[in-house]
Amino acid sequence: MKGASLIAPLGVRIPDELKEKIQVQAKENGRSMNAEIVFLLEEALADDDDDLDSKLIEAYEEKIKAMEEVIKIQKQAFDLATDQISLLKHYIKKTTGADM
């Protein structure tokens, strides 16, 4: 890790079983135990951001779907009103002979 000498050490108590798991994983990944712990912490914190982003995107997508449904209903209402206006104009023209 570049600049490791500039980072203050942090004493952490880790249960033996967890320490052994980290040692095994670090060896499998070709990292020091310290580098493995830093990697795992960064990954865990990044996942929280990703989960939040995913939840926000999902909420926005749901909002967009709801708004699209409202627009669809409003378009249907507009089309119906347009048809009714056309029918009324036709009726007025037919009964009075006046163009609208």
DSSP state of 7: S
Q: Is it the case that residue 100 has pLDDT exceeding 70?
A: no
Can you point out the beta strands (E) in 1-100?
A: none
Q: Is 24 left (phi over 0), alpha (psi -120 to 50) or beta?
A: alpha
pLDDT band at 54 (very low <50, low <70, confident <90, very high): confident
Say if pTM beats, i.e. exceeds, 0.85.
Answer: no
